[in-house]
Every structure is written in structure tokens, then in C-alpha cells.
Amino acid sequence: MSLQTLVPYIHSNCAHRISEGALAIGFYLALNPTLTRLNLSGNRITDVGAFGLAKGLLVNSSLTELHVGSNRLGDAGVSSIYATSFDNKKSVLATIHVKGNLHSSEGDTIVHAIVQSKALATQLREATPVVLDLSYVATDLGLRRFGADVLAEHFQGDGCDDALPTSTSTTTSNTNACEVLNLCRNGLGDDGARSIASLFLSNATITKLDLSCNGIGDVGATALAAMLRVNKSLRAVNLRAAYGASSASSCVISEVGMLELSAAMQVNTGIQVLDLRDHCANPRVVTSWVHMLQHNTGLLKFNGGTPAAFLARHDHRRD
């Protein structure tokens, strides 16, 4: 089927359609302002073709339904299609069918994260919870970096104008009163950590942040450290890497990232509780903690060791 014959509804299930054709259709998607439904099921499209489709989806603002089932898409291909539709803020794509491809449970996890993050974006117009608990244990969301992007876009600027409905938090308010953000076990990774860091460059209401068990490495730690140098509202931060054997990711912060965090905490006098357990704790890092505690008299509780004891310090000026 030639591109000249394409109309607002396309059904292309010719057996000879291959990934190169999908690339061409991706180009067409980028240029066609009227296409609303596209069926590419059963065309032996591989991840290469999915990447081409994704390029078109990144700028398309008319497609509402896409069928790419029964092809040869792996995790990367399926994820790229969903992720692109998420990243395109003008996208109206509401339905994507991928059943019958070669993607694994990891691909399904990415799809789930994107779907849930889109739902979160919609829900963030109801009310402002004092406690916004999006931990995997509490919600079964598993938002990945997509949920972090939603939160960053929502909370940046004027604090917490809107937020989740009462089903997410037992205590809600119609004022800008969001004080606690729990994202434990959401698989945010470095990209998600960077989005959260950007959130706290402007938000001034959230005082407690839990980013534990999110597979954050040095890139994310560096972004968070840059934020901690200037943020004045946070009072408690949890960056613990794992809880027992139930870690969301084996990724940990190395010496480079830990030194960045220690240096940032020397100048951040607002945070009173900090948990950095299960990341790198070599002699250089431990030395940086000593310097951090010497310079930062506001840090009352610090936990960085594995299995080092919890360190508690009180402000002697009140004695």
C-alpha cells in the first residue's frame, strides 16, 4: 500500500510489510494532520520499525488509536512507542494495542508505568494532599521516570496547586499544603531522579522526600546534590538503596555520587534527617561524612552505613 493511498483510517496487514515500511509510515505520521486510526498488526515489524513509528508519534497530534499487535516487537520497540506517546504533550493517542509481540514482562512493566503515569497526570487536578504516598507498596503503581516527569511538571512553579484525590492520601486540603512525597520503589532511575531534582528547585512546600529503592546512580545523585545545595524547604530525605532483598534495582551510588551528596549537605542546613544506606561507603566516603557532620550542625540524624549504626546528634546549643 503506497503512502498516497493513506486516509484518516489506515488498515495495513499486508504480509510483506516490513520495518522499512514502518519507518516510512512514521514519517507520514509526522506530516499528516488528519490521521486518527492506524492498524499495522501482523506485519513482521521489528524494533527498528517501531523506532521509526516512534519518531512520527513524537510530533503527531491527531492519532487516537494504534494497532501494532502480532508483530516482532521486543521490549525496546514496545517501550519506545509508549514512551514517545507519553513524551509528546500534544498527543491524543488513547489506545495502543501491542498483544502478540515478542516483548517480555519488562516491556509490560514499562507500558504499565506509562499508563499509570498518564492516569496520575489526570488525577492531579482534584485536591492537594498533605501526604502524597505514591510508594509501590501503597499503590502498586511502579511509575518509573514517567511518573517523576508528571510530578515535576505539576509541582514546579507555584508549589502544590493540585494533587491526587482523597483515595491516595487520607488527609487532603484545598490549599497549597503538600508536605510529604513518598516515591519508594518506583524504579525512577537516574532520569526520574533528575526530574524530581528539578521539581525541588522551585517547590517550597514539600518537607519530606522518600526516594528509597529507586535504582538511582551517580547521574541522579549529582542532580539531587545540585538541588540540595539550594533547596531550603526539605527537612528529611531518604535515598536508601534497598530494604533487604526487595530492592527495585541493584544500581547504587558510587564514590563519585556520594562525595557530591556529602559536599552538598555541608551547605544545606535545612535537612535534619538523611538516609544514604546501602550505597558506596568506602574510606573516602566515610571521611566525607565526618566533614559533613562537622560543618552541618542542623543535621540531627544521619544513616549512611551498611550495617553501620544509626548516628544521632542533637543541637547542643539547646542544652
CATH class entry, domain 127-157+177-242+249-318: alpha beta
The number of CA neighbours under 13 Å toward the Cβ of 235 is: 6
Please state the pTM of the whole predicted model. 0.80
- Please say whether the beta carbons of 270 and 235 come within 8 A: yes
- Please say whether the beta carbons of 72 and 98 come within 8 A: no
Show the beta-strand stretches assigned E in the chain: 9-11, 37-39, 65-67, 95-97, 128-129, 131-133, 172-173, 180-182, 208-210, 236-238, 273-275, 301-303, 311-312
How confident is the model over 119-176, as pLDDT tens digits? 888 887 787 788 999 998 767 779 999 999 999 999 874 444 433 333 344 444 433 5
* Positions of CATH 3.80.10.10 in the chain: 1-103, 127-157+177-242+249-318
Higher pLDDT, 3 or 258: 258
Strands 208-210 and 301-303: unpaired
- 2-16, 106-120, 186-200, range with the lowest pLDDT: 2-16
Looking at residue 317, what is its pLDDT?
Answer: 38
How confident is the model over 31-89, as pLDDT tens digits? 877 889 999 999 899 999 999 999 999 999 999 999 999 999 999 999 999 999 999 98
CA diameter of the chain: 82
Q: Which of 232, 113, 244, 127 is nearest to 183 (CA)?
A: 113
Can you name the residues that pair with 67 across neighbouring β-strands?
39, 97
Q: Which of 30, 49, 31 is nearest to 40 (CA)?
A: 49
Can you name the residues that pair with 182 across neighbouring β-strands?
133, 210
**For 279-287, what is the mean pLDDT?**
94
Q: What is the CATH number of domain 1-103?
A: 3.80.10.10
**For 4-13, what is the mean pLDDT?**
45
- Please say whether the beta carbons of 156 and 125 come within 8 A: no
